[in-house]
Structure 1
Amino acid sequence: MLAKEGVDSKDVIVRPLTDSGWRIELPRPDGLFVVVVVDQPEALWLAKRIRPEAEIRLMPSDREPI
């Protein structure tokens, strides 16, 4: 999912879930680490805390048509 969107493996992706909440996607050597939180500010804050050196990318839901 990350590569086809043109996202670097060092980036952290934050995207809304279709029902409610926000998803934080962190690529790791052994796969994708995912955290779900309640709202966007919390997602952005946590993404920066988990990986401070990364660029945080705010993306649309992966279930919405483009």
Structure 2
Amino acid sequence: MDNQFKKLLLIIIACSFLVGFGALFKIMEWPGATLIFNVGVVLEVIFGATIMVYLLKNKNK
């Protein structure tokens, strides 16, 4: 694995933790929990798509 792919994986893992914390705060009914949850989901989708594009471009290498 090259360095760029490792960075993308670390970012998506961090976004997963953000989603987890948002869900936890939402269960505890904290204000702003929905924003944290939604931002985490959006970032996870964006970086997940970036990883898929990266893998498809480098499939034959």
Classify the TM-score, shorter chain.
under 0.3
TM-score by length of 1: 0.25
Q: Larger radius of gyration, structure 1 or 2?
A: 2
- TM-score, length of structure 2 as denominator length: 0.26
Give the helix-richer structure, 1 or 2: 2
